[in-house]
């Protein structure tokens, strides 16, 4: 069933940092079984110009308008920071959401660790660029972080993950092998108790913060968090527990070397075993690993295609001939 974004309901940040969020209206994990193509954008980090260019190249936008019909567009989090145009990016996402809904499509914007960290502590050094941009527009960061105004409402209402059919999307990917029901319960309980600073969101091995190949709180790398299992086995267990077939994450644009020697180059659209898809290409000028790319997940037949800003298309996976590793050439700077 199509998810409807209704008028803002009660969502108030208290002095203690707790959030009163109506989970029926703004779910922790958004879900839809719509059988449409899915366009996926990794971490934008305030780069409005590159975002518009790559969306036009992928056919999501024509000029300034939505052009993807009934398709689904997913932003993987970290719209803000590392650049001066986060508010323009947010404004574009909001506009596309309205236009997509009118055309029968859907737009989802997931929360990234940068949004959660700003909401938890709006004076945090990490979000200095966003704070300065807000102040330059006459907005007060602490009021936005308290879910005030249109920008605050937008940030505070973002889901932490999304399920579209058999595809599960989240910023950093680590669900710790939980079922979808348990994950939702834990996310809601954590935010109800501790606000957007919840360990469920911001611990070093959490859904928004974990890093592939880096040791988390349990002392071993994700996704190889069980030393008795290889990455493929663990990833398979993760998708099975969620009741899906594929995990898609942003958050990491840098080179990643898995314990078995599989390597993902920085800025590269990448998948392994059809189970894990990495879509952060470091597109922002503040990162500058690439000019950006969109991952198009075709609904029928299922295929994942990386689309560069120059229009180059590379199939990195398809259901008919699944390969162990698929990667696209880094979209040139």
The number of distinct structural domains making up the chain is: 1
- CA distance linking residue 131 with residue 113, whole number of Å: 16
- pLDDT, residue 308, reads 95
- CA distance linking residue 298 with residue 19, whole number of Å: 37
Contact (Cβ atoms closer than 8 angstroms) between residue 281 and residue 290: yes
Residue 104 resides in a domain? yes
- pLDDT, residue 224, reads 62
- CA distance linking residue 206 with residue 275, whole number of Å: 19
- pLDDT, residue 215, reads 52
Residue 182 resides in a domain? yes
pLDDT in tens, the chain (333 residues): 333 333 333 344 433 456 789 999 999 999 999 999 999 999 999 999 999 999 999 999 999 899 999 999 999 999 999 999 999 999 999 999 999 999 999 999 999 999 999 999 999 898 999 999 999 999 999 999 999 999 999 999 999 999 999 999 999 999 999 999 999 999 999 999 999 999 999 999 899 999 887 655 454 566 765 555 677 888 899 999 999 999 999 999 998 888 777 888 999 999 999 999 999 999 999 999 899 999 999 998 999 999 999 999 999 999 987 778 888 999 976
- CA distance linking residue 173 with residue 76, whole number of Å: 11
Contacts of 154 (CB under 8 A, 6+ apart): 90, 93, 94, 109
Could you write out the DSSP letters of every residue in 15-28?
TTS-EEE-TTTS-S
Residue 107 resides in a domain? yes
Virtual torsion, Cα 149, 93, 88, 121, nearest 10 deg: 50
- pLDDT, residue 82, reads 94
- pLDDT, residue 7, reads 34
Question: Using the 8-state DSSP alphabet, how is residue 301 labeled?
Answer: T
Q: How many residues does the chain have?
A: 333
Residue 17 resides in a domain? no
- pLDDT, residue 214, reads 62
Residue 295 resides in a domain? yes
- CA distance linking residue 329 with residue 304, whole number of Å: 14
For residue 207 the two structure tokens come to 């859904």
Residue 19 resides in a domain? no
Residue 303 resides in a domain? yes
Task: Report the DSSP beta bridge partners of residue 62.
Answer: 65
What are the E-state strand segments in the chain?
Answer: 11-13, 19-21, 29-32, 38-41, 61-62, 65-66, 72-75, 106-109, 161-164, 167-170, 246-249, 256-257, 263-264, 270-272, 276-278, 293-298, 303-308, 313-318, 325-327
Structural domain of 130: 28-327
For residue 228 the two structure tokens come to 């008795």
Domain CATH for 283: 3.60.21.10
Residue 23 resides in a domain? no
pTM over 0.85: yes
């Amino acid at each position: 069933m199509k998810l409807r974004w209704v008028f803002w309901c009660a969502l108030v940040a208290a002095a203690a940092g707790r959030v009163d969020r109506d989970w029926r209206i703004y779910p922790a994990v958004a879900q839809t079984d719509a059988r449409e193509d899915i366009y996926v954008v990794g971490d934008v980090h305030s780069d409005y110009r590159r975002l518009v260019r790559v969306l036009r190249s992928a056919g999501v936008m024509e000029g300034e308008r939505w052009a993807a019909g009934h398709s689904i567009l997913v932003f993987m989090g970290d719209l803000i920071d590392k650049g001066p145009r986060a508010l323009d990016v947010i404004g574009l996402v909001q506009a596309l959401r309205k236009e997509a809904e009118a055309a029968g499509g859907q737009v989802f914007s997931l929360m990234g660790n940068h949004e959660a960290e700003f909401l938890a502590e709006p004076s945090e050094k990490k979000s200095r660029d966003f704070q300065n941009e807000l102040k330059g527009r006459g907005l007060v960061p602490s009021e936005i972080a308290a879910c005030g105004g249109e920008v605050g409402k937008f940030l505070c209402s973002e889901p932490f993950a999304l399920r579209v059919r058999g595809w599960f999307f989240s910023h950093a990917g680590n669900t710790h092998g939980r079922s979808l029901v348990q994950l939702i319960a834990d996310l809601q309980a954590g935010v109800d108790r501790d606000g957007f600073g919840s360990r469920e969101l911001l611990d070093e091995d959490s859904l928004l913060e974990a890093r592939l190949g880096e040791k988390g709180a349990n002392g071993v790398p994700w996704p190889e968090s069980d030393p008795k299992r290889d990455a493929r086995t663990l990833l398979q267990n993760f998708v099975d527990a969620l009741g899906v077939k594929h995990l898609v994450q942003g958050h990491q644009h840098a080179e990643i070397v898995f314990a078995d020697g599989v390597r993902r180059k920085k800025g590269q659209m990448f998948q392994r075993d059809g189970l894990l898809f990495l879509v952060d290409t470091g597109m922002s000028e503040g990162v500058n690993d690439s000019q950006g790319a969109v991952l198009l997940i075709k609904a029928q037949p299922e295929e994942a295609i990386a689309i560069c800003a120059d229009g180059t298309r590379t199939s990195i996976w398809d259901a008919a001939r699944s390969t162990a590793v698929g990667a696209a050439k880094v979209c040139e700077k």
